[in-house]
Structure 1
Amino acid sequence: MEEPRKTFSTSDGCVSDVVTEKYLVRSQESASHVQLACCGRCCAFPLDGNQLCVWDVEGPSHQLLTLHGHCQSVTALAFGNRVNPLLLCSGALDCVMVWNLDACRKKLLQGLTPRATVLGTLLGKVLCLRFGPDDHAVAVGAGNRILVRDTEDQSVLGELEGHVGPVTAVEFCPWQADVVISVSEDRSFKVWDLSRESLLYSSSVLTACPLLSLYLEAGSKQLVTGSADGQLWIFSLAERHRYRLVAHMDLRKRREAFFTRRLKSRLCTLPGERQLRSTNEPEREEVEATLPILSFGHCDLSPVLNSECGLASCASQNSRHLWIGSTAGLFMLNLANFDLEAVLQYKDFRSLSIRVAGSCAVMSGAHEHKAVCLLTSLFGNEIAVLDIDVVALLRSQGSLAAGRSLSVLASSCVSPTSPLYCGTVKGKRTKPVSQTQPAVRSVIKDQPLVFHSKVRSSGYTAAPCVNMFAPKTNNRKDGKRPSKCRNSYRCKDYPWENSIPTKPGQQVTVAHKPAAVCCIQYSGDGRGLACGLANHLSLVFDASLTGTPTVFPGHDAAVSTICWSHDQKWLLSVAQDGALRVWSRRRAELLLLLGKDVFPRPVHSAQFYFVDAFLLLSSGPDVRLLQYHLDTCRDELKRYKPRSSFKPVHRLSVASGADLTSLSAVNGFHSHIVLAAARDRSLEVFDLNAGCSAAVIAEAHSRPVHQICQNQGSPFAAQQSPAYDLFLTTATGDGVRLWDLRTLRCERRFEGHPSRCYPCGVAFSPCGRFVACGAEDRHAYVYEMGSSTFSHRLPGHTDTVTRVAFSPSAAQLVTAILDGKLQLFHAE
């Protein structure tokens, strides 16, 4: 037995503050491929084959508890769930035993030999063990059977048969005591009803390699399983989800993406360790062809994030994390966004005794800032216990970055040097000269006989006036607004209860010939729905999709962007020909045209900004801010001569120089933040109050982002202030991601909808509780913000759902279909 020792850095000789090798044992027999046991207080491992060693993490480092009882080599170990008394179950080819560790320590102090309770003998090769929630039962995976034994009277509670390969992991369901879940080398998982000894569900074959590990997340009711080829699956075990697949990922690809993000974000490497290699360099020391997932461990980061004041948002503090133990290292997975928060590779610490693990068990320690990892060597006989500082690990890899002050809500007034300043003083301009200097004599010039733009009728064709005066006798004030004002704006609150629109309603075809609907948007009052078509037209429907729509012709290509002004008077449209047009909503006529010759590059997307004070658009790699003037008083005799104008105010370019693919900013209230997505898969945040770039998020998706959707709320629904800092991004083939502007982190990922080839849109609900998105399987999907799997799947479509939009004033959802139809959904 060797004394505990710490790992030292090979570069400068300093003690590493991330990982410490607390204990190292060399056994006479290899303990590789043995189910190890690790809890927040103790670690248990086999020594010399048939001996059991229990090391107390809280006690002195040299104090070990050695237990003798097995004649054959121990193949599986498991701790109980209760702390007092703490039970340990050990399985071997000869028998399965349960040890009371507190009683064993007392007997050793008395000079007696500890004894265990034998649950069964000659059960076969035991590969996995697991205690029930109350420690009254133990599930034993022996061969392709699962034997459940009572720990008190050693009776048989059940025998579950159905796997065609050896059972590699078994778990009791935390929220259903009679449910047992198992995985096997037959590459499937099964759900059992222990009370009836029957099979509830059997999955299909998930992969070509055996499933090795299993974990149940009680908070989200999810099942996590990993295979020998590094594949990881997450299934939902909620009753109405019917074992739905939530996410599937490759651990090796997640690791490469993690290192790529670190490299592009210019983060520091682990302190005192060697430089991490670039993902493009060949890894000469790489041993494993894959990353087998050996085990899972509970990881609670709430105390860590709470102690780091200002470094994490509420969404980050409530997220769930999971330790993944593999042959090459430990990985910390965020179960909300399915990204790796930290990677600890054994080979990066050259003083560690074990570089390639054969078995692994990891668990958060007694102090939540620490984690304990128990390793056995794959090629040797070493057994090591590692102490990991979670805070130091997260800091060294940039997961706990310095807090930022970015927010969509403006926290200060507009600076006089800001490009937005001219929009704030627009209402304070001096009056024209003809009004401010009345004393100056006006010179009457020669004019034609008829010089008025509009000539009034002489009255000969009008009906004679009979009543000269007719007073209003039914005028009621009662402190209320006139009926005209009251009907022009709905002051009804958004329905919070039963606000999920799932019932199909009206469906309309937007054109006589099939034309795809490229974009849709509701007006701010919820009365109008604008949509852009692939046949060069823009239409405005009534919110109920009834009646004849208003047509806005004029574009030469498919309309890719449609946008309402804040006061619902104007409509903006951008087509794929690069032209931008601003229309009068009431008269359906063109007021402003920015053609292809105005900017060096075609306009890709545009919108009204800063409560209609500016036009914000993207052209190539640039974000341009324009001040505009719309003249509605047209000369009837000179209609061909437009009098509307615009003036460039400011231009910003993305750091990478790549073309922009999406642009978003809040127009419902004054905000200084503009979000832009580039073709190099990056997101950039611009602060127009400072007139510069504020932050860059590298590798936001695996493909370029085609839509950014901000939570802009609604005049009919109130939300908390932090909710407005959330925004969505979506990319073809990479799902939907939820981001928090305050931390610039992905807080959740939604991947349950198929969108592999066609860019499908996404939208926030006015209440901020739901996210809707289109899909290629002729359905629309609705997610709850607190869940990674969809809550509703909306049928009734005849083709790919390209765009979705929530009504701001009612519980309604409109979906756009690729074959040129609009489908309305409303609440039950």
Structure 2
Amino acid sequence: MEEPQGFFSPGDGCVGDMVTERCLVESKEPVSHVQLACGLWFCAFPLDGNELCVWSTKDPSYQPLILRGHRQPITAVTFGNTVSPLLICSASQDYVMLWSLDECRQKVLLGLTPRGLVLSTLLGKALYLRLSPDDRAAAVCAGNKIFMLDTESRSTLAVLEGHRGPVTAAEFCPWQTHIIISVSEDRSFKVWDHHAGSPLYSSAVLTASPLLSLLVDEKSQQLVAGCADGQLWVFSLVERHHYRCVTRVDLKKKRETFSRRVESRLCSLPVLFLEKNRRPCAHGLEKGEDVEGSLPVLGLAPCDLSLLPSSECGCLPSESAPCLWVGSSSGLLILNLANFELEGVLRYKDFRSLSIQVAGSCAMMSKAGEQKAICLLTSMFGGQIAVLEIRLAALVRSRQGLGAGRSLSVLPRGCVLSTSPLHFRIAEEHRTPPAPQRRSAVRSTVQDQPLVFHGKVRSSGYATAPHVTMFSPKTNTRNNGDSPSRRRGSHRCKEYPLESSPPTRLHKQRVLAHGPAAALCVQFSGDGRWLACGLANHLSLVFRADLTGTPVVFSGHDGAVSTVCWSHDGRWLLSTSLDGTPRVWSLRRAELVLCVGRDLFPKPIRSAQFYYLDAFILCSSGPELQLLKCHIDTSKDEIRRYKQRSRCRPVFRLPTAGPTEITSLSAANDFYSYLVLAAGRDKTVEVFDLNAGRSAAVIAEAHSRPVHQICQNKGSSFTTQQYQVYNLFATAAIGDGIKLWDLRTLRCERRFEGHPNHGYPCGIAFSPCGRYVASGAEDRHAYVYEMGSSTFSHRLAGHTDTVAGVAFSPSAPQLATTTLDGKLQLFVAE
């Protein structure tokens, strides 16, 4: 046997600080498709067929330990879970043996031959071994059976039968040690109670290819099964989820997307920087290279990225998302189990100095608290065995594309600039009126009128320039205005119950139209007293929040009402329609007060909302983002009562980075914020900084299809969240689920899967407490997700058609939903 070799220098053009080959061993017998063992301090693998070699990953001077006792070739090796004594178990067709490494090492130093403890004999060819968390039981996967062996009495505890094909992997559940889960070539997984020797759950056939590998993640309580065709199946092991399928990941597509993103980041860097840091073989960016058919998942292992800097791992500062190693025949991948995106890709062929280019089996290990990982590989076509050392920071940094950009925040970090389009409002408010004797005979009517929708009140903060200290999501302030304002102030005395369960019980239902009219959108007012709905029959309805009484009807659009939005003070309702014109309605007068004509814009307005504490109307017109300054005048001329006195004019236009139509936009209106989010039909999400008057960042390929809604975590005036979580926003696309993003990193932090949404743009909404996300679906249900889980926690029934719109009440744990058959449902907490 060869002695452990020194550090190998990587080949030409490869990254030297990412991977190093620390040991290379040549076996006389082929070692492909053999279970390897990679632990915290040692690696173990078969050598020359029936010998077991143990090599230290911490101390290269540690002589390789050769353990002999098997007569047939060793087919599976695993380490124990206890530190003292450190055990290793090996299996062949003749024996299943248990070794104590400390005892074996002492015998070698004394010149004696170490001996292992025979647990069982003649079980057949073992494809997989695993010791229980306390090392008192061993699971041996031989044929289509699982033999449970007692390591102390060396007896057979149980024989688990039920698979129709060879069992390829089995894992103990860390938090329920009596549970063991297995996967098989019959393309299914089974859950067993090995104490009772009986099955608890059996899945259906998942795929057309055999299942090869398995991982049970304790942090996320998820089961991950790897397939021979490069698919990963993720299931929830939470008790109330009943082994629900969370998602299916296509590793080949994920790696292609990863390569495109890295390439786009590299192309955006300066030419001199690229020449200095050129990586011609990294990540498959070279043209004309061969394309692999699939990525068989040979091994899975947990990966800890918690100690990496947040700029490198992209995780939220408060917690680190669970990740896992995925070992295939062509390379290693790091998959994030929160957003199901790749954090790093390492391909063996990109490093020409590596001895193994195509792996037959692999095992990975990354110790918590260290920034290095160990990978044990065997060659597919020979007897080579290699130990690789991987530097996680260098591998994950490639995902960031050598530059992370500047951080963003919804909360303003300074005053409004004098050149900002938002300064227009400040200048208008603080302008000193000229003396009466110096006024011109011809003056602007707009300048003499208030440029806001309502009179100034102390709770709005209009009299001062916006600072970060002005932000307070909880706006329980007194009002000295008219009676509606006083009633609104008294209504906000109560607090939103932060620890309340989500609204899941159907409380009331209303039919919105007698004929067929889809209810496309729904929105609560900021004080939680009113509920607005937009219908396909060109109408907008406003109900009381408890759905009692007769609704207020607003008519005037020439197309289906697509969005409704309340002003911050609750006096005005803004609606947009497929006719391309936004309209502002007075709730008190129940009439139209402003209609923005099409002649002001080159293209029809598709989406609009109030912005900057009602100082502006923010809207999109084709590929442009526009700020409108409006003057609302509800007085009527006795002679020309049909003519409105309200006026509107555009004050700022900002084009998108690409010539694509904006499909959705979002901005905070309950507090001062400079940032605006917009989604385009080219699948991008763009962040605009209106204080600087420019585009701040672009997220390319945010979804596989165009985003139809952006929803920010805005909280409400009845609750206060930590200021960091206001930087979270969610996007939804047809057929691509919901993604949770963080503005500080511009990364998808979590993905919500499980609600069917394949043909219609269903709405999404954040709860005021920030703990839940609700979504509509096409299966006549609404879904509620917890922020810490990728699968839904509640599935709300009671609908009779596709759920198109969802909205949380800002003042109480209530959820309103609308359906395509024109019904409105109100759910409350149990």
Equivalence for 1:218: 218
| Corresponding residue for residue 185 of structure 2 | 185
CA contact (8 A) 2:10 2:20 kept: no
Q: Which residue pairs with 2:162 in the alignment? A: 162
Change (3 A) 1:351 1:272: farther
Native 8 Å contact 2:222 2:234 kept in 1: yes
The Cα shift of 1:587 comes to 1.0
* Contact 1:356–1:378 (8 Å) recurs in 2: yes
AA aligned opposite 2:177? A
Aligned partners of 2:686, 2:486: CA distance in 1, in Å? 42
Look up the match of 2:305: 301
Tell me the equivalent position of 2:469.
Answer: none
The residue number in structure 1 matching 2:142 is 142
Q: In the aligned structure 2, how far is the partner of 1:319 from the partner of 1:102? A: 35
| Structure 2 portions without partners, runs of 5+ | 443-477
In the alignment, the residues of structure 1 paired with residue 34 and residue 349 of structure 2 have an alpha-carbon distance, to the nearest angstrom, of 22
User: 1:292, 1:326 within 8 Å by CA — same for their partners in 2?
Assistant: yes
Distance 1:411 1:728 in 2: 23
**1:681 corresponds to which residue?**
683
The equivalent residue for 1:228 is 228
Q: Does residue 313 of structure 1 match 2:313?
A: no
- Work out which of the residue numbers 801, 807, 810 in structure 2 matches 1:808: 810
Query: What's the offset of the Cα at 1:640?
Result: 2.4
Q: Does the Cα contact within 8 Å between 1:9 and 1:273 map onto a contact in 2?
A: no
Contact between 1:781 and 1:792, CA under 8 Å: does it hold in 2?
yes
Note if contact 1:170-1:183 (Cα within 8 Å) is conserved in structure 2.
yes
Secondary structure class of the residue paired with 1:240: helix
Distance 2:201 2:227 in 1: 19
Give 1:474's aligned residue.
Answer: none
Which residue of structure 2 lines up, in the alignment, with residue 619 of structure 1?
621
Partner of 2:587: 585
- Cα distance in 1, alignment partners of residues 438 and 746 from structure 2: 59
What residue number does 2:755 align with?
753
Q: Does 1:630 align with 2:632?
A: yes
Corresponding residue number in structure 2 for 1:787: 789
> CA 1:47–1:486 in 2, change beyond 3 Å: closer, same or farther?
same
Match of 1:379 among 378, 381, 387: 381
Structure 1 counterpart of 2:289, one-letter code: E
8 A contact 1:41–1:365 mirrored in 2: no
Per the alignment, residue 452 of structure 2 pairs with none
The equivalences for 1:195-594 within 5 A come to: 195-266=195-266, 273-276=279-282, 283-284=289-290, 286=291, 288-305=292-309, 312-314=315-317, 317-365=319-367, 368-398=370-400, 401-402=403-404, 404-431=406-433, 436-437=435-436, 487-489=487-489, 490=491, 491-594=493-596
Between the aligned partners of 1:15 and 1:751, the Cα distance in structure 2 is 36
Q: Give TM-score, length-normalised by structure 1.
A: 0.91
- 1:109 aligns to what? 109
Q: How far did residue 263 of structure 1 move?
A: 2.4
Q: Is the contact made by 2:283 and 2:350 (CA closer than 8 Å) also made in structure 1?
A: no
What is the SS of the residue equivalent to 1:178? strand
Distance in 2 between residues matched to 1:732 and 1:60, nearest whole Å = 53
Residue 397 of structure 1 aligns to a residue in which SS? helix
Deviation at 1:647, TM superposition (A): 2.4
Alignment partners' CA distance in 2, 1:705 and 1:119: 58
Offset at 1:281? 5.1
CA contact (8 A) 2:315 2:749 kept: no
Name 1:824's counterpart in structure 2: 826
Tell me the CA shift for residue 519 of structure 1: 1.4
TM-score by length of 2: 0.91
Q: Kindly tell me: are residues 762 and 441 of structure 1, through their superposed partners in 2, closer, same or farther at Cα, counting changes over 3 Å?
A: closer
Amino acid at match of 2:324: L
Distance, in Å, in 1 between the alignment partners of 2:349 and 2:649 is 59
Q: Distance in 2 between matches of 1:420 and 1:539?
A: 32
Q: Which residue of 2 aligns with 1:732?
A: 734
Determine if contact 2:34/2:76 at 8 Å carries over to the other structure: yes
Question: Percent identity at matched positions?
Answer: 61
Mapped partners of 1:156, 1:815: distance in 2: 56
Flag the 1:295–1:311 CA change in 2: closer, same or farther, 3 A: closer
Question: Structure 1 residues 440 and 777 mapped into 2: Cα distance closer, same or farther (>3 Å)?
Answer: closer
Which residue identity is paired with 1:265? R
Please give the alpha-carbon distance, in whole angstroms, between the structure 1 residues aligned to 2:615 and 2:161: 70
2:699 alignment counterpart: 697
The structural deviation recorded for 1:596 is 2.4
Structure 2 distance, partners of 1:501, 1:258, is 38
Work out the CA distance in 2 between the residues paired with 1:391 and 1:620.
Answer: 42
Distance in 1 (CA, whole Å) between partners of 2:139 and 2:439 is 100
Cα displacement (A) at 1:283: 3.5
Preserved contact between residue 331 and residue 344 of structure 1 (Cα < 8 Å): yes
Residues 156-212 of structure 1: CA distance to partner in whole angstroms, max 9, x if unpaired?
221111111111001111111111111111111000111211110000000111110
SS at match of 1:265: helix
Secondary structure at 2:177 match in 1: coil
Q: What is the deviation of 1:441?
A: 14
What amino acid sits opposite 1:186 in the alignment? Answer: D
Cα RMSD between the aligned structures?
Answer: 2.3
Tell me: CA distance 1:725–1:378, structure 2 relative to 1, closer, same or farther (3 Å): same
Name the residue aligned to 2:25: 25
Q: Does residue 670 of the first structure (1) align with residue 672 of the second (2)?
A: yes
CA distance in 1, matches of 2:312, 2:15: 27
Is 1:721 equivalent to 2:723 in the alignment?
A: yes
Q: CA deviation at 1:282?
A: 5.0
1:220-255: per-residue Cα shift (whole Å, max 9, x none)? 211110111111111111111100111111111111
Q: After superposing the two structures, state which structure 1 stretch, 211-220 or 57-66, moved more.
A: 57-66
Distance 1:698 1:772 in 2: 25
Partner SS for 1:104: helix
Hey, what does 2:662 align to over in structure 1? 660
Structure 1 Cα separation of the partners of residues 536 and 368 of structure 2: 61
User: How much has 1:332 moved relative to structure 2?
Assistant: 0.2
Q: Distance in 2 between matches of 1:730 and 1:102?
A: 55
1:603 Cα deviation after fit: 0.6
1:582-601, Cα deviation, whole Å (9 max, x unpaired): 11121122222222232111
Q: Distance in 2 between matches of 1:127 and 1:107?
A: 30
The whole-number CA distance in structure 2 between the counterparts of 1:186 and 1:485 is: 67
Q: 1:440 to 1:33 in 2, by over 3 A?
A: closer
Q: How many residues align?
A: 785
Structure 1 residues 537-546 or 673-682, which shifts more?
537-546
Aligned to 1:35: 35
Q: Deviations over 1:657-695 (max 9, x none)?
A: 211111000000000000011111111111111111111
Q: Which has the larger radius of gyration?
A: 1
Shift of the 154–403 alpha-carbon distance from structure 1 to 2, 3 Å rule, reads farther
Counterparts of 1:726 and 1:627, CA distance in 2 = 28
CA spacing shift, 1:354–1:710, aligned 2, 3 Å: same
**Alpha-carbon distance change, 7 to 755 in structure 1, aligned in 2, over 3 angstroms:** farther
Note closer, same or farther for the CA distance 1:738–1:400 as it changes in structure 2 (3 Å cut).
farther
Is the contact made by 2:27 and 2:383 (CA closer than 8 Å) also made in structure 1?
yes
Alpha-carbon shift at residue 304 of structure 1 (Å): 1.6
Mapped contact 1:43–1:374 kept (Cα < 8 A)? yes
Q: Which residue of 2 is the match for residue 456 of structure 1?
A: none
Q: Is the 8 A contact 1:22 1:61 kept in 2?
A: no
The 3-state SS of whatever aligns with 1:304 is: coil
Return the offset for 1:8: 3.5
Report the CA distance between 1:509 and its aligned residue.
1.0
Contact 1:577 1:596 in 2 (8 A): no
Deviation at 1:63, TM superposition (A): 2.4
CA distance in 2 between counterparts of 1:280 and 1:786 reads: 39
Change (3 A) 1:366 1:5: farther
How much has 1:25 moved relative to structure 2? Answer: 1.1
- 2: distance between equivalents of 1:825 and 1:575? 27
The separation in 1 between residues aligned to 2:59 and 2:286, in whole angstroms, is 45
> d(CA) in 1 for partners of 2:425 and 2:479?
34
